[in-house]
Amino acid sequence: MTTSDLIKQLFLSFHDKDSEAFFQAARTYIEHEKRKKHTIIAKELEKALYTTNGSSDREKRFKNTVPIPRDTEKGFPLLEIQNFDISLDSLLVSAETKQQLEQIIREFKDADVFATYNLTNKRKILLCGKPGTGKTFSARIVSSVLQIPLVYVRFDSIISSYLGETASNLRKALFEFYLRPIKKASDINLQKAVSMTQGLSPADIKMVTEEAMKLSILDSRHCIEQKDIEDALKKFSRREKVKNNQMGD
């Protein structure tokens, strides 16, 4: 498509108030300028295109062009598209960490400049650390500064969709698997245990079941009781609160 055709398409879509067609034509024109090595004007046009409409329009446009995948059994969305308006100054981290985030943001913004040198910007980053250290908040800030949506994947829905079981059934299966070495008392209610372990990882459930079995063995009992599981869950919860500095005075 020639430059004249692109400009004509821009005017026609604007006249028809077709925002989706206008956006696509604008994107094509920007890519056209990039191929001609007009990086400065392409960058300015790209900035104007993504900043004038506001976050609500960006969210609507993103949802229209990229359908959200859903669970094939129950229709639950497998992800959420979120938009944020947060400044980088709101992040309280070490100078080194902040510098790394700033570099990631700058690389993304100057991706077209890197392309002229046959270089690519960072497209994947790994944020690791203990709970409460700012991993999710950092991702939200990067999303906000770059003015692109943050996609939040629903892990439970992914499990439900692709493994054919709900997260609840999987947790129950984990309890049954980890408690195999010991007999179970008649009062054992695994469904209750499952409801009390919402949000726990398989490793967490393994830790709870091992603690419950230890309580039973130390009490000279040959079968595990419901109270053992609940006591183990309480100990796990207290340990997590201490780890995350959430215990009261």
Domain boundaries, the chain: 3-52, 84-148, 166-243
Residue carrying the six token digits 């295109």 = 49
Residue 60: which pLDDT band, with cuts at 50, 70 and 90?
Answer: very low
Please count the residues of the chain.
249
pLDDT for res 157: 61
Q: How far apart are CA 187 and CA 74, in angstroms?
A: 32
Which percentage of the chain shows pLDDT scores above 90?
Answer: 16
Nearest in space to 160 (alpha carbons), one of 55, 71, 248, 53: 71
Mean pLDDT of 242-246: 66
Question: What CA–CA distances, in Å, run from 12 to 3, 19, 53, 62, 92?
Answer: 14, 11, 19, 22, 47
pLDDT for res 61: 47
Question: What CA–CA distances, in Å, run from 224 to 63, 169, 176, 178, 247?
Answer: 50, 21, 12, 12, 29
Q: Say whether pLDDT at 164 is over 80.
A: no
pLDDT for res 50: 67
**Cα-flanking dihedrals φ and ψ of residue 53, to 5°?**
-90, -15
Q: Which amino acid is at 157?
A: S
Residues 6+ apart with CB under 8 A from 109: 43, 146
Max CA pair span of the chain: 86
22-31 pLDDT, tens digit per residue, is 888 888 888 8
Residue 63: which pLDDT band, with cuts at 50, 70 and 90?
Answer: very low
Query: In a 3-state reduction of DSSP, which class is residue 55?
Result: helix
Q: How far apart are CA 7 and CA 36, in angstroms?
A: 16
Which percentage of the chain shows pLDDT scores above 70?
Answer: 79
Sign of CA dihedral 88, 93, 99, 104: negative
**How would you classify the pairing of strands 183-184 and 223-224?**
parallel
Q: Say whether pLDDT at 77 is over 80.
A: no
Q: Say whether pLDDT at 156 is over 90.
A: no
pTM of the model: 0.41
Mean pLDDT of 84-102: 86
Q: How far apart are CA 18 and CA 87, in angstroms?
A: 32
- Give CATH for domain 166-243: 1.10.8.60
